[in-house]
Amino acid sequence: MSSSSSSSFNRRDFLTTAALGAAAASLTSPALAAATDESASSGMVAAPVMICAGNSFAYLQRGFDAVVKGGDTLDAAVDVVRGPEDDPDDDSVGLGGLPNEEGVVELDSCCMHGPTRRAGSVGAVRDIKNVARLAQTVMLHSGHVMLVGEGASRFGFAHGFPKENLLTEHSRKVWLLWKETHSDADWWGPGIADPQWKNPPQFPAVDSKTGKPIAAVSAANLENNLKNNLENSDPRAEYWQRKLERMHEVAAGLGIEPEFRAAAIQRVLRPPTGTTHCSVLNAKGEMSGVTTTSGLAWKLAGRCGDSPIIGAGEYTDQDVGSAGATGAGEENIKVAGAHTIVENMRHGMTPHEAGMDALKRIVRNFNGDMNKLRFLDMTYYILRKDGAWAGVSLWEGYGPGQEHSIGVIHQGGKRKYATTALFKGYSTGWPPIPEVK
């Protein structure tokens, strides 16, 4: 399928996304200014108050109503994040989460209960969708803090959690799109016997009967074409256009509906980390928090990100506050993000300052190298024991319409706020692209 012959592909998509990548790249100069509008993404309200990641916003009210009636803070937080866990259309959490490289959904979660100063965690759990409640069950019904893998699932089944296939048709197809377009050098995707099979670009077509080069694509012509491309355009643009065309073809072949193809391709090219979080403060000053995720899409089997790591994906100290994280799990583990933020607040920082400091530690781990930092993102959701809250992130979001946000609910109402970003602009939509020779 060529770009001109298709109504669904998508030179427009390609150009838009390429422009986004270029826009992000252009923001990576040392002169990059830190966003400063702290007031828009932080505040102070009277307890009870709950905060959450944007994808749990729709479920905040039910948790808040329970807290107002005197319900337990952790029960309320777990009930809020059950929303995206149960939602098959949220492909970053619970049922319908994007799977690992083997096509298996593995979920991570951890929680802390302030009043009893207890914690629970599960990692790489298969076949159980409500892993936030499973982490809470580990906390309540075992002498351990963390269970992983098969043992965590068996513990859940013993406690009555239903065994479910977490891979939805949508997520299975997006995984197959990743698998089939991931490499030309394996056996995934249509083979040479497929009637639609096309010559890879590096093998010029020959006449199918004589085996002689077709004039239009003779070696000399190819060389000229390549020279022209190099002189007149960005060879990477040519490479990506061909790759995107192929991805659209494969997506169509897999039965991914036209309206979802661009989003599916986006997930393949830029594996999301997803995740959701909720922190709670009740009128008695009790606090709890929980984070839950399907983790990085296409990860290695058994990989745990930050979400099941107490102190990274979530941390609550009854005397100080609660913090949670979504984003690049590996980077957040290395700065113990949620714990760092709570400790910063213990030592007098505001929630905003505490979160910005944790983000700067991530920046420090890369020596401030924007070539690398543009490919990372991290968002922190922070609630202090006195009702002060803040949402901060490394970048403003993944692109227009995909800005990071924090949801807040208290007696005065419920609202979503854009986070304050350390760096202006979006993290780039493209992973590092190999130079096309």
The string over 77-115, giving b where at least 16 C-beta atoms fall within 10 Å of a residue's C-beta and e elsewhere, is bbbbbbbbbebeebbbbbbbbbbbbebebbbbbbbbbbb
Cβ atoms of 323 and 279 closer than 8 Å = yes
Q: Which CB atom, from 107 or from 345, has the smaller least distance to ligand GLY? A: 107
Q: If binding is defined by CB under 6 A, does position 41 make contact with ligand GLY?
A: no
Member of 295, 321, 391, 397 binding ligand GLY (CB under 6 A): 295
The string over 165-189, giving b where at least 16 C-beta atoms fall within 10 Å of a residue's C-beta and e elsewhere, is ebbbebbbbbbbbbbbbeeeeeeeb
Cβ atoms of 375 and 432 closer than 8 Å = yes
Piece of the chain touching ligand GLY by CB under 6 A; list 138-146, 176-184, 225-233, 323-331: 323-331
Q: Which CB atom, from 97 or from 407, has the smaller least distance to ligand GLY? A: 97
Q: If binding is defined by CB under 6 A, does position 293 make contact with ligand GLY?
A: yes
The Cα 132–Cα 323 span in angstroms is 16
The Cα 47–Cα 71 span in angstroms is 14
One DSSP character per residue, 164-230 reads: -----HHHHHHHHHHHHHS-SSSS-S--TTSTT----TTS--B-TTT-PBPGGG-HHHHHHHHHHHH
Q: Which CB atom, from 273 or from 318, has the smaller least distance to ligand GLY? A: 273
Q: If binding is defined by CB under 6 A, does position 273 make contact with ligand GLY?
A: yes
Label residue 427 exposed, middle or buried (CB < 10 Å: 0-12, 13-18, 19+).
Answer: buried
Member of 123, 305, 311, 399 binding ligand GLY (CB under 6 A): 305
Count the site residues for ligand GLY by CB under 6 A: 11
Q: If binding is defined by CB under 6 A, does position 326 make contact with ligand GLY?
A: yes
Tokens 């013993």 identify what position? Answer: 158
Q: Which CB atom, from 326 or from 419, has the smaller least distance to ligand GLY? A: 326
The Cα 190–Cα 204 span in angstroms is 19
Q: How far is CA 8 from CA 174, 209, 257, 429, in A?
A: 17, 33, 10, 21
Piece of the chain touching ligand GLY by CB under 6 A; list 156-164, 211-219, 293-301, 413-421: 293-301
Q: Which CB atom, from 49 or from 382, has the smaller least distance to ligand GLY? A: 382
Task: For the CB of residue 258, give the shortest distance to ligand GLY in the complex, in Å.
Answer: 30
Q: If binding is defined by CB under 6 A, does position 168 make contact with ligand GLY?
A: no
In degrees and rounded to multiples of 5, residue 103 shows phi and psi of: 85, 20
Q: If binding is defined by CB under 6 A, does position 306 make contact with ligand GLY?
A: yes
Q: Which CB atom, from 180 or from 331, has the smaller least distance to ligand GLY? A: 331
Q: Which CB atom, from 268 or from 338, has the smaller least distance to ligand GLY? A: 338
Q: Which CB atom, from 109 or from 288, has the smaller least distance to ligand GLY? A: 109
Piece of the chain touching ligand GLY by CB under 6 A; list 94-102, 229-237, 321-329, 350-358: 321-329
Q: If binding is defined by CB under 6 A, does position 21 make contact with ligand GLY?
A: no
Q: If binding is defined by CB under 6 A, does position 136 make contact with ligand GLY?
A: no
Q: If binding is defined by CB under 6 A, does position 275 make contact with ligand GLY?
A: yes
The Cα 45–Cα 409 span in angstroms is 9
> Tell me, what amino acid is at 66?
A
Member of 123, 329, 407, 425 binding ligand GLY (CB under 6 A): 329
> Tell me, what amino acid is at 250?
V
Cβ atoms of 355 and 332 closer than 8 Å = no
Q: What is residue 296's DSSP assignment?
A: S
| Longest alpha-carbon distance in the chain | 85
Q: Which CB atom, from 180 or from 306, has the smaller least distance to ligand GLY? A: 306
Member of 307, 340, 379, 405 binding ligand GLY (CB under 6 A): 307
Member of 18, 98, 296, 358 binding ligand GLY (CB under 6 A): 296
What does the binding site for ligand GLY look like in residue numbers (CB under 6 A)? 273, 275, 293, 295-296, 305-307, 326-327, 329
